[in-house]
Amino acid sequence: MNILVTGASKGIGKVIAEELKSVGTVFVTGRNEEALKKSGCKYCVCDLSGNIKVLEDFILENNIDILINNAAEYRYDGLDDLKEEDIERLYRTNLIAPAKLSAIAIPHMKKSQWGRIINIGSISGVMGEANASIYSSSKAGLLGLTKALALELAVYNITVNTINPGWVQTRLGIESIEESDFTQDEIIECVPQKRFIKPIEVAQLCKYLISEDAKGITGQGINLCAGLSVGI
């Protein structure tokens, strides 16, 4: 199995790539070439907010069977405080790029009569997050993409799912708290399990979803959020 993980130079993506080495050949992409080199995987340097032709070619060259759309950008600002280029950049990275990359990978999956697409969404796309409207709406868009693609591709033995993490113990997660109006203690108090999700939990769920044991799971948004989506 040939697996591509986007946004794999750090955080969740880096842990996913490392975890999946045991089940297939892992390819990675991101913006930081030095970090990608350290992964030990064949890599492609690409900024998903810009021209992604180089990454589309990379997908075709390497016959990707499993696509994990993990790369994302977060901004904590009121919508009226964002510039037009900020809005467009977030949508390109978080929603348009996953759709384009999926479109490139799907023909090979169809030919093989097997494939997996996993989108890393966010609990903010399920519940909404004040002052993160573009991030939230882009992640909500991933859920719509997931459901529709799952229907389109079911007959080809291709599954499409989204994992919606809550607060994750990564640099991005901590920085997003620092940018917000809340402290870490206040955030944790709102989480039923009183903890952050660890990146390895996301990685292990990815490993399960690409397995044959999970072949009946498709079109789903799976909330991996320590109970945050249920209530407080």
Q: Catalytic residues, which ones?
A: 135
First to last CA, the chain: 41
* DSSP category for residue 120: E
CA distance 188 to 167: 9
Sign of the torsion angle spanned by Cα atoms 79, 83, 84, 87: negative
Q: Is 87 left (phi over 0), alpha (psi -120 to 50) or beta?
A: alpha
Tell the residue number behind the tokens 């809005």, with chain if given.
Answer: 87
- Bridge-based pairing of strands 25-30 and 2-5 is parallel
- The number of residues making up the chain comes to 232
- Our separate counts of H helices and E strands in the chain read 10, 7
